Amino acid sequence: MKRVTAIGFSIPSFSNDDHIPLDSLGALSDTDIALFSPNLSYTSYSNYDSDSYPSREEFEGKKLYNKKSSADMLLHSQHWRNELTHFIENGGTVFVILSKQEDFFIYTGTTDFTGTGRNRKAAPHVSPFSNYNFLPFKDLEFKVASGKTIVPSSSSVADLFANFKDYLHFEMYIKGDKLNNPTFTTKNKDRVLGVNIKFGKGLVLFIPHLNLEVDKFIKYNSKKDQNDWNEAGIKIGKMLLTNLVEIDKAIRKHVEKSPRPNWIQNEQFLLKSSESTRSLIKEHKVEVTRIEAEIAELRKKFIDQESLKDLLYETGKPLEDAVIKALKILGYQAENYSDGELELDQVIISPEGDRLIGECEGKDNKDIDVTKFRQLLYSLNADFELEHVQEKAFGLLFGNPQRLVDPAERTLAFTKKCCSGAEREKIGLIKTEDLFRVAKYISENQDNDFAKLCRDAIIQQLGKIIQFPRKD
């Protein structure tokens, strides 16, 4: 009998020799059939921020795994994508249990730094993640939907369904272009709940969520102070192993062909029609490669063009970069500055010879306050102390208050204290949503005269919230 190994799922048996934890770097080299479940319930990943004073981490209302678990999850998910791909490409069979999708956030391992000196703060990056990131199937879409009515649509899974229908329910369904052999569907057949797909030499078989951890299969072991499988559980586990092996055998009878011998390519066996098609395939592949390269360049261009929108909702480094992009559209020279000790968000020089220093701040639900204003004052003085600087620069504070609210609905800007300080120090206050508006117009109309009016407005209104000219 072929050997079956379960990953992220426990098959009822006397031992765990046939089980590999999902949060591990286990290998599939000694198995014939893998049963894979992207279920995080039995992993050691945690969103507690510490052992001593634990509190659960969250981001935007969702679970945020701590830094160690985030690093482990990135490592393990990459490992299982590679391991499953290698296993399938070399002829293995993988049954994937469509467990419930879990959406959460993890730390990426990269960090932005804002401020300088004592005000320098680290802002670790986080990124959305899912337990379905452990799977390598990029051409398939996994959609959330739950229910109990499952209809088998292939004779290959008839025994599996008959034996386990009381323990099957669906948490997900699949969409994609290769779903020609569905094995399970919803009652009205509008959603695919299970399917067989051939990848290279191997097979992937998706099945609905299977739960065998029910009371009738479990007993309490008082000596070990843990739950073990009882006789009924071990019996159903053996039945599951048999069903998986039989399904694999039945499907391979239909999809496997004998390897093509080398001599089949000899000239006397060539078919003109297939050779003509082979030539067309080669031509189309060349064309596809060219188009894919063009698409890749267009994607880069699109991302760069879209980055101007960061003025409307971003904070930190993305906001700094978007401000620099907008200032260049207005005709300025603008760039970050760092000499190892002093860091400036923007050093800005106008075509008219004005030199300015910029600082950026984004707030979720607050005004831009005096904290960033004080940092800008420090930066202006530190810049003036540099040996090559002969004249003190003007200051600009770029603020993005209520950054996650539609600009048309925003009511906040800069605090009174920030405004009074700006008036005293002749520092210009610019809302980045206003900067977006004028930069968008100039970039789309190449209106250099209007760009000059915008630069003049900035210099003439230092000490105030800058009101740009309008183009109706």
pLDDT at 117: 59
Give the whole-angstrom CA distance, residue 160 versus residue 208.
11
Q: Does the model's pTM come out above 0.75?
A: no
* pLDDT computed for residue 96 by the predictor: 96
Specify the pLDDT at position 53.
42
Instruction: Please report the pLDDT score of residue 469 as a whole number.
Output: 94
Q: What are the DSSP calls for 96-139, one per residue? A: EE-PPP-EEEEEEEEEEEESSGGG-EEEEEEEEEEGGGG---TT
DSSP lists the bridge partners of residue 440 as none
What pLDDT does residue 260 have? 63
- Residues with Cβ within 8 Å of residue 311, at least 6 apart in sequence: 319, 322, 323, 326, 400, 432, 433, 435, 436, 439
Please give the pLDDT value at position 199. 83
Q: Give the CB-side neighbour count of residue 329, counting CA atoms within 13 A.
A: 23
Going from the first residue of the chain to its last (472 residues), give the mean pLDDT of each consecutive group of 10, the final group possibly shorter. Answer: 89 79 91 94 81 63 89 93 93 94 89 64 83 92 92 90 93 86 89 89 93 88 81 91 90 64 80 88 91 90 90 90 94 88 88 93 90 90 89 94 91 92 94 95 94 95 94 72
Give me the pLDDT at residue 14, please. 65
- Strands 209-210 and 168-175, by their bridges, are antiparallel
What distance in Å separates the CA atoms of residue 168 and residue 293, rounded to the nearest whole number?
Answer: 44
Q: Which residues contact 176 (CB under 8 A, 6 or more apart)?
A: 139, 140, 141
Strands 141-147 and 182-185: what pairing? unpaired
